Structure 1
Amino acid sequence: MTGRATVEYCSRPFDSRGRTYKEVGAIAQWTLSKKGDDVFQGWEYKKRFARMKAGTLPAEEFYAWSRKFREMRAACDAGKISRNEFMT
């Protein structure tokens, strides 16, 4: 392994799809960080993220939706809208 000694994952191929250990590790770390957040465990976010990764949803469309999602989540956390309003 070359590069910094603090790098957790190398850039060798991980699987037959061409993903590297670095890519798979980043996804795994993101998933771990969102494990306790019940909002991100919601079906809609995961479904749209998977569609973007698969290439069936344009990244720009996902990120625009994600921005609105985060704004609504912040409003829910601040008590401006109810949890039911946020989840619908």
Structure 2
Amino acid sequence: MVEKSFTIEDADAVLDVTGQVCAMPILTAADELRSAADGDLLAIKTGKPVDECEDVEDWVRRLDGASLISTRGTDDGVIAFLRRQASD
């Protein structure tokens, strides 16, 4: 199933980690993910330039319980969209 292109308004929760340094964005996202319901769509505003999109995708993929849906570059930086995976 291919999901549509998402916007911030589609997200169940928006997390802004702009200005946080490694590894705080990952830890902050992991905390938010733990409190999300199965199937929730989270948007993470990273503040990272578009040329660091692959780095953002890499750390999002490392989050337990998350499925990376897409990343999108904006004037304010990369936004990553992920879905909370159902618990086993």
TM-score by length of 1: 0.24
Higher relative strand content: 2
Q: Which one has a bigger Cα radius of gyration?
A: 1
Higher relative helix content: 1
TM-score by length of 2: 0.24
Per chain length, whose mean CA-contact separation is higher, i.e. which structure has more relative contact order (CA < 8 Å, sep 6+)? Answer: 2
